[in-house]
Amino acid sequence: MAVWALGINHTTAPLDLRGRFAFAMDQIEPTLRGLRESLSRQPEAALISTCNRTEIYCAGDKPELEHTLDWLAHSGGVSPALLRSHSYTLENGHAARHAFRVASGLDSMVLGEPQILGQLKDAVRAAEAAGALGTTLSQLFQRSFAVAKEVRTSTEIGAHSISMAAAAVRLAGQLFEDLSDVRVLFVGAGEMIELCATHFAAKNPKQLAIANRTLERGEKLATRFGGEVMRLADLPDRLHEFDAVISCTASTLPIIGLGAVERALKRRKRRPMFMVDLAVPRDIEPEVKALEDIYLYTVDDLAGVVQTAQASRQAAVAQAEAIVDAGVQSFMHWVDQRGSVPLIQQLNAQADEWRAGEIVRARKLLAKGEDVDAVLEALSKGLTQKMLHGAMAELHAGDATARERASTAIQHFFLRKER
């Protein structure tokens, strides 16, 4: 059984290219079906898609990396050559190591961040629902979760983690003297917006609002943080009211355009606006960044902020990598053992056939009134002869090489004293 992985992340691909391969959770099932149908042997498959990475994991008889890459390139509307130049491909132990490092937060923009583990578990559930997860990938991901848990409980890898949300607050604090005088608008109502709202709410901003496509979820967040809720349709008319805008939706197209921001700046009489676009694909048109009095940051722009706390965590990385190494060795040992399963099944079936035959014979002898001890003796001898017949035949073979090979095997399997 082969395991392979293909992916792009924040270190290999620019934001706009990653945006082409961003899959919403409700797209994963049909996407996995399309992927598996495109490959010759319908392999096991799972798809992880976050703002920082899109990765495909597969398991099958033979690796089909090129076909997997061609399919992904086609789905994103780019050439295989372009995708290849920004992607990474991994097989077997290297693929397992990567999965374990991702789950543990060792491959994240924010070293040790815990959010990726939840996203990985969501991806596994989606693969299960699509019927795309088999024994091998199930083992891979369950072991990755176990490794991640050990890394978090045994090391200090996440002790000083600065999340994207905390980074956004830090940047806002550099622009505005007092965040308690700032009016903050959050666009979207997902997990990342909830995290950002939690961090900003702790600074007691002057106003906090949630704009969301569906009011129900927006109202829940707004109530929690003492803010107001608005519809996305009202955003262009009210954008000028806010000093800080943090957006993260699942929209496939920008929802805050250049024109809307220009009009908002005009009504604000050029007072500066702080904007953070955490969405992939983008929620805010990139041209907005060129406007005077606009301070726009994307997920990639936040990388420098979150890296500042990494130096204090480097001592824990080596310990975490050792845990990952042990997990990889254990998984690959399991994969290697899986190759022996058909032979083990054949051996068990043959032994059951011999046993059943001897039991039938013993019952017939007992029915005829034969002595029980004599029947048991015959049963044991019959089984022994059947089990040793192949070995004895090899020892009596005319070929000296065959006899030597048989002798070594017999000593190994039958004559070892230690068990």
Give the gyration radius of the chain's Cα atoms. 31
196 as an active site residue: the answer is no
| Distance from the Cα of residue 319 to its chain's centroid | 21
Closest C-alpha among 320, 295, 317, 52 to residue 164 = 52
Number of residues in the chain:
419
Using a 10 angstrom Cβ sphere, with 0-12 exposed, 13-18 middle and 19 or more buried, the burial of residue 54 is buried
Using a 10 angstrom Cβ sphere, with 0-12 exposed, 13-18 middle and 19 or more buried, the burial of residue 382 is middle
User: Whole-angstrom Cα distance, residue 33 to residue 68?
Assistant: 13
User: Whole-angstrom Cα distance, residue 349 to residue 195?
Assistant: 56
> Would you say 99 and 141 are in contact if contact means Cβ atoms under 8 Å apart?
yes
Using a 10 angstrom Cβ sphere, with 0-12 exposed, 13-18 middle and 19 or more buried, the burial of residue 214 is exposed
The residue with tokens 């890394």 is 151
> Would you say 3 and 136 are in contact if contact means Cβ atoms under 8 Å apart?
yes
**Identity of the amino acid at 115:** Q
Geometric angle at alpha carbon 363, from 362 and 368, rounded to 5°: 100
> Would you say 41 and 60 are in contact if contact means Cβ atoms under 8 Å apart?
yes
User: Whole-angstrom Cα distance, residue 264 to residue 241?
Assistant: 8
Point out the catalytic residue in the list 51, 58, 196, 248.
51
Q: How many C-beta atoms surround the C-beta of residue 122 within 10 A?
A: 16
DSSP 308: T
Query: 57 by DSSP, 3-state: which?
Result: strand
Active-site residues, by number, are 51
